Amino acid sequence: MDDRFARVVETLAPKLEILLAMRPHRYGQLPLNMPEKGVYLFSEGDQHLYIGRSNVLRKRYHRHFKSHKSAAFAFLLARKETGRLKASYKKDESNRDGLMRDATFANAFASAKLRMRDMDYRYVEEQDQVCQALLEIYCAVVLQTPFNDFGTH
């Protein structure tokens, strides 16, 4: 293995430990002194559900509760709830906008955002973009987060 890559890999497990050791926060309780860049985790109790990364952690957290275009995790929860699991990029009723016109899906999406307000939210600072990406993947693999998918579109 390349030495530079190996040095990055060596940082992943300790960062995950820091992430998991963090006291979790809930909706409306984010501290003012959050780091700007890093990796974040949504959990329900001991069940880790979704890992993400951002260069604007505080703003990204709040975007998870906004529209169907920015609330990726809530959208995934609604997909699972309604059985509408396959993503579509066609201009029809199976794409994001089309699903939101379906009352059942729209209700599931709204419920998912409410559910997320009660989830634990943790984060760990990571400034480097490559390290962020690798840490996100590492955490998803180790924690077996069911709502992370690294497939291409």
Of the candidates 7, 10, 3, 14, the residue with the CA atom closest to the CA atom of residue 125: 14
Q: What is the tens place of the pLDDT at every residue in 33-86?
A: 999 999 999 999 999 999 999 999 999 999 999 998 899 999 999 999 999 988
More confident residue, 131 or 89: 131
Whole-model pTM over 0.85: yes
DSSP bridge partners of 25: 121
Phi and psi angles of residue 48, each rounded to the nearest 5 degrees, phi first: -85, 125
Instruction: Delimit the domains of the chain by residue range.
Output: 3-143
The pLDDT assigned to 152 comes to: 62
The dihedral sign for the CA sequence 128, 129, 133, 139: positive
The pLDDT assigned to 129 comes to: 95
Rounded to an integer, the average pLDDT of 138-143 is 98
Eight-state DSSP code of residue 56: S
